[in-house]
Every structure is written in C-alpha cells, then in structure tokens.
Structure 1
Amino acid sequence: MERKFIPLSVPNIKGNELEYVTEAVKDEWVSTGGSYIETFEKNVAEYVHVEKTVAVQSGTAGLHLALIQSGVGLGDEVITATLTFIAAVNPIRYVGAEPIFMDCDDTLCLDPIKVEQFIEEECTFEEGKLINNRSKKHIKAILGVHVFGNLLDMEKLMNIANKYNLKFIEDATEALGSYYTNGSYKGQFAGTIGDFGVFSFNGNKIMTTGGGGMILAKNKEDLDYVRYLSTQAKDDTLNFIHGDVGYNYRMTNLQAALGVGQLERLEDFIATKKANYHLYKELLESNEKVELMEFKQNIRPNYWFYALNIKGNPDIQLFIHKLQAEKIQTRPIWGLIHEQKPYKKSQSYKIEKADYYVNHILNIPCSSNLTQEEVCYVSECVKELL
C-alpha cells in the first residue's frame, strides 16, 4: 500500500463547521453582514477573557489597523523582529513608517535585552518621545511576534514600552490559545496584554476561517474606531457619508461561521498537538544531530508549529528535498526580513542569533489531525536521512 503524503500544517474541519456554513448559505448571509460575525467575535472574546474583539479579513489587515490606531504614520519608526514572516512587517510600510529590526532570543521571539540595549545606546528619550539618534525620527511602537505559539517575554517588553511611551502591538497570529501560567501576566492569553493584539485564521493556523483575522485592544474606544475603519468609516450608511479613510477589512459571515465551528474544537486541537509534540520529543531525543525546540516554561503554549534545530552545518534545502521524496512536507524558517529586497536599507541592530537559526531551523508536520503513526514515520525519516 502506497504511503500517503504528510503535509506540514493543514486544516482540521470535522466538527460543526459544515452545518454552520450551510446555515449561513441557506440564509443568504454570505458577505460582511450576518449573525455569525457577531457570534464569532463574542466567542473569541470569551475564550481569551476580554470584553470585545473585531473580526477582519486577515491578520495583516488587523496589524495595519492597529498601527493606524496606535498613531504610527509617515516618518515614524517601529521596533520589530527580523525573524518573522514578512506579513508582520509590511503593514509598517503601509502606514508610511520604517521598521528597525531586532534580533531574536532562544525562543525565536524578539529579544527584549537587545531592544533595551538599542534604546539605551542608539536613542534619546526627551519630552516623552523616543528619538532614533541615527535617523532623528520618532520611534512610536514595538511590534512583537509570538513565534510558533511560543510567547514573547511580555513582562520585560511591556516595561520597556511603558518606560519609553511606546505603543505595543502583539502579533499573536500564531499564538491563539497560548497563555502565561505564572508571572505578572499569569492567566492572560497572547494578544490581550499589549495596546493591541491580532490573531490570524489563515489556512495553516491552529484554527482557520480560510483566511481572516481578529483585533483586540486594551482601550475600548480604540477598538470601536478600528471597527469603524474596517467598514469604510461610514458615518451615515444610508447616504454614504464617510468621516475618515476607511478600509474594506471586515470578515465575511461565511468565514465567521467556519470560525465558530473551529473555536468549539480549539482545545482539542491543542491537546492533540501537545501529545504529538511530546511524542516527537521522545522519539528524537536520542539523536544528537537534532533538537526539538522547547516552549517556554512559564506558559501553556498552543503548540502550533514544531521547530527542529539541526546541529552542525546542515544543508537545509537538501534535507527538505530528501524528506519530500519520502512524502513528508517540511519547510525552513523564514528568510530574515532585514535581508529581503524591500528592507535592505532599513536599520538593524546586532543580528546574531537570528543568523544562526535561519540556517538551522526546520519545521516538521504538525497538523492537529496528524496521527501517532505519522509522527513515528517522520521521526524515523529524520533520523535516517540526516
């Protein structure tokens, strides 16, 4: 019997999703109006213990609106990570601002120590504004990414943001369901701590709406205005009166219906991914050539993506092709953003660990419908082909 292909990360749609989507179709509420949008927003808010959320077309749209409402605009700067997907950074340019790229730490997330070093060594704080000594521009925000379901060191980063009057935007697009189990933010979910938080429901995320995203905000008025901007900034819906430059960023009712069904199963997804992570760890721990990257000890992660740290001087591309020949899909970590063509002239600061990890990290299959047999097969192939 021919072995079937094992994908990296695919949706798991086996609950009430079809029922809810069918109901939305039958009711003919398929666009950006309909009861499922409100239900999905309410259910996610209850899950992460906040009052309200705003559903949008994508995580990228959410970051764009969060930057706008943070007051980031033309000529400003934003501190962010170089080790991330480029969709986390592009919205900074959408608003006319410039990124300043920082290194990661050993969690693959933004390094708070280097962020603070950069501010102390390269900036001046005067009259409530953080000024970049090189560019003479105002740094207005930090945009940090919770990578692979791991969590940023929000205690240190929020202390920095508060000290220097910076807005903090949490890119929690990979971390829905992850929360802190001790420390100042014990019990708080990713996306609920900064001034804004953003989730993504792309097809490869832990739960999906086929696309789509969601925004959270510490300030209710900020969230209300984000909702207003996401629906073309309508002041008078009958007479087409608009009070600002708005965006067509609202989630559709069909997407929300899918999301309601997916959210019902989120904790089951996390439990499966946790079990598979620990099985991978058990099967691979005897191999000195690889290390399955740990999640932080003070969190309950969602175990979204599993990251193999391949020791020595690996040829990642060759290894990917070898596994592909065994019908196993893997991928390298993202190319560093400060080395990408649109950002080569952007400022970066002491990029060291990211340079290492970009050449050593490989993501292996992690879908929530991955079987234990498939985990064993992937593990054996990894050990045999390295």
Structure 2
Amino acid sequence: MTASSSSAVQRLVSFLREDLGQQGRIPLHAPTFGRREKDYVADCIDSTYVSSVGDYVVKFENEVARRSGCAFGVATMNGTAAIHALLHTLGVGRGDLVICPALTFVATVNAVLYTGAQPVFLDSDPDTLGLSLSEVERFLQTCEQRADGVWYEGQRVRAALPVHIFGHVIDVVRLSEICAAYGVAVVEDAAESLGASRDGRQAGSLSVAAALSFNGNKVVTTGGGGAIVTNDEALAVRLKHLTTTARAKQGWTFFHDEMGFNYRMPNLNAALGFAQMEQLDDFICAKRRLADRYEALFQGCANVQFVKEAAGVRSNYWLQAIMLPDLTARNEALESLHAEGIEARPCWTLMVDLPYLKDSRRFGNLTVARDIESRLVNIPSSPSLMTPSV
C-alpha cells in the first residue's frame, strides 16, 4: 500500500473506532430518527390518508420551501421525478441540449433524457466539484446565436443544470448571469444541498427553480421522495397540476386536460419527512462539526486533502470526502477501509464513460472531472457520528 493511502486509512480507522467509539460496521451515511417520526407516521395512518392527499404533504412542502428560501414547494415521489417534471414544465424537449456536469449522479442525466433532450457534458470546478462556470461561458461563446436562442451543432441549448455536489453550492447567481446573455435557463439540481447556502442565500433559491431529493441517504429523508422549490407561483401551480396526473378540478369527475405525471409524494412519506425537517438544523450542525474534526484529522497527512467548502459557501457536508494523490491510492484506501468494516465510496463514474452515454456530446477535455473521479473517496458522514458529547 502506498504511504499516503496507508496513513489516511490508519488515521480514519483510529478516529472512528477510538475517538468516536464506533464499533461494528460503520455506514457511509445512515438516517437519524427521533421520536416524532413514529408519531407523525402513526397519525398519518390513523387519518387513513396515506397516499398523495393529506395534510402532511402540504406541511412538508411548505417547510421545505421555507428552508430553501423559496415561497413554494411541490413534493414528488423522488428527486429524479422532480428534475424531469421541472425541465418538462420549462419547455425542455426533444432535440434540445441541456448543459450538465460530466461528474454527477446518473439521475441528473436520466431526467434530461426523459424529456427527449440530450445532455452536453462540461468540466468541473476544482473548488466546488460542481459545474465549471468558465467552461460554461467558453462553451456558449462557441455556439451560434439565432433569433430563437443559442444553438450548438444544430441543436438548441435550452437549459443548464448545475449540481451542488455533496452539498457544496456553486455560484448559480453568476452562472445565471452568464446564461441569461444567451437565453439559456438555469435550474438547480439541489438534491444533495438542503440547508446549504452561498453568500447567505439558500441552495435552491438561486435560480428559477430547483429539485431536491429525500432518499434514505440524504440529510433529511422521506424514505423515497423529492421536491421542487421556486419563488414563481405560476410555475409552482403548473408543476403541482402536472405531477398529479394533470387532473382538472371538475367536481368528482376524472378529467385530465393534458399529459401529466403520477409523481406526487404520498402523505405517509411526507409525515416522515416533516418530522425530519424539524431536526434539519441539528443534522447540519452535527455534520459540520464532523467536517471540522475530519479537516483537523487529515492536516499534515502527506498527499491527503480534506474536501472543504469554498469561500462564501456554507456546505451541509452531505457526504464528507478526501482527495488522495492518484487512482492507485484511492483504490487501496477503499479496499482497506472496507476490510476494516468502514463503508467508503469513490465518486461517480463520469457520465461520458457510461456505455449508454458514450456517444453523448461533450465540450472540452474534462480534465478536472477526471482528476476528481480518480482521487476522491467519500468517508462516513452520518450526523449520528457526532453525539452532543463528542
């Protein structure tokens, strides 16, 4: 084993086992539940409203919107559905191009494909791990400007879909300024960034609308679920209509005025999520304390760098991460940590390297994204690791 990977593994094992007193298998990110989850779910069951109609869906939507700095929320069955519905509602469709980071979770790109549009993949920023603003600007400068928008090799560029990787918020305000000059809409994939902010503004409120995820491994979970947040009331009304199968309100009749989606979050999931939202501040506080401990732990560890928030960003540190010197050290660390019963993960395979996306459009050489993919390791990030006494 290389010296750098060996040192990183030894420090992490000692910290988790001895300093934090963690025994047995240590998951990458486990949900934390209090008493109210059971109370609210039981109340939901007692009400008999366990599907997409019920008070908890509305309560959850309102709270998620509030904590995202937005006026309106639309709860969905998962984060992928949220992105798909949002892009569809904004007019993204067959033949269009959507700017995406090459380094992201596959759901981001699948949602683009569901609309009939295609992704065009760009490089990452080394400070935020997210979409490179300079590459977006350089890409748009190469496009052909027409009266009806900006075109790249015969396809209209309709939107940009930045992702706040691991809760590190990119500069969406600046990105929106860049894209506005070309008539390109910006929407946030904020699936990983609930409660995070940049320059005092919440992730999700930095563009026309954003999609969030509440999967079992997120900071707040509904078991499975997502949401769209926005300050545009007309957009929110239309999204709620489309995600409930576009059923028109005409008494007791079943009349659907257009093609819609059966994407509404069940009340049962929302009850769980509403209880989780009450603990969001505690979760983020614990994760930020853990990040401080990790940063201190790896200081002075040769060729190992803890991934910390960029200037102006207050990350939720959804997943904590370290950067090792190369692919060999990364793989050695992963093997050693799993042998110790400590769950760790590499970053995602670049989208352009997935078989069904190998012929997708890309711009630039993706050097930074490839470097991050080859060196990054996610390490245990559960808020429960940081009890009040630790």
Contact 2:326-2:374 within 8 A present in 1 as well: no
The correspondence for 1:341, drawn from 355, 358, 382, is: 355
Equivalent in the alignment of 1:142: 160
Cα distance, 1:51 vs structure 2: 1.6
- 1:310 paired residue number: 324
Distance in 1, matches of 2:221 and 2:303, equals 34
**Letter of the 1:54 counterpart:** V
1:252-290 CA-partner distances (Å, limit 9, x unpaired):
111110111000000000010011111011111110131
Q: Secondary structure at the match of 2:378?
A: strand
What's the RMSD between the two structures over aligned residues?
1.7
What is the match of residue 293 of structure 1?
307
| Structure 2: distance between partners of 1:219 and 1:114 | 29
Q: Among all aligned residue pairs of Structure 1 and Structure 2, give the percentage whose two residues are the same amino acid.
A: 35
Name 2:100's counterpart in structure 1: 80
What is the identity, as a one-letter code, of the residue corresponding to 2:158? Answer: K
Structure 2: distance between partners of 1:219 and 1:360? 40
Residue of structure 2 equivalent to 1:234: 247
Alpha-carbon shift at residue 294 of structure 1 (Å): 1.6
Structure 2 partner of 1:169: 187
Paired residue for 1:384?
A: none
Contact 1:276 1:372 in 2 (8 A): no
Corresponding residue for 1:354? 369
Once the two structures are superposed, the pairs formed by residues 1-386 of structure 1 within 5 Å of their partners are 3-106=23-126, 107-121=128-142, 123-132=143-152, 134=153, 136-181=154-199, 187-235=200-248, 236=250, 238-350=252-364, 351-371=366-386
Offset at residue 194 of structure 1 (A):
1.2
1:50-106 per-residue CA deviation (whole Å, 9 max, x = no partner) reads 221101101100000111011110111111111000001111110111100000011
Distance 1:348 1:322 in 2: 35
Q: Secondary structure at the match of 2:201?
A: coil
Distance change (3 Å), C-alpha of 1:245 and 1:280: same
Q: Quote the Cα distance in structure 2 between the aligned partners of 1:273 and 1:371.
A: 7
SS at match of 1:282: helix
Any conservation in 1 of the 2:222–2:269 contact (CA below 8 Å)?
yes
Partner of 1:184: none
C-alpha distance after superposition, 1:281-312 (max 9, x if no partner): 11111101311012112022111111110014
CA contact (8 A) 2:346 2:376 kept: yes
Superposition misfits of 4+ residues, deviation over 3 angstroms: none
CA contact (8 A) 2:72 2:232 kept: no
Please give the per-residue CA displacement for 1:154-193, whole angstroms capped at 9, x wherever unaligned. 1321111211111111000000001123xxxxx3211112
Code of the residue aligned with 1:102 in structure 2: it is L
Equivalent residues of 1:193, 1:218 under 8 A apart: no
**C-alpha distance in 1 between matches for 2:326 and 2:254:** 62
1:313–1:343 Cα change, 3 Å:
closer
Shift of 1:372: 7.2
Contact 2:321–2:377 (CA<8 Å) still a contact in 1? yes
Distance across 2 between alignment mates of 1:244 and 1:198: 23
Give distance in 2, aligned partners of 1:335 and 1:263: 31
SS in 1 for 2:317: coil
Q: CA deviation at 1:3?
A: 3.0
Find the aligned partners of 2:165 and 2:216 in 1 and give their Cα distance.
17
The Cα shift of 1:316 comes to 2.7
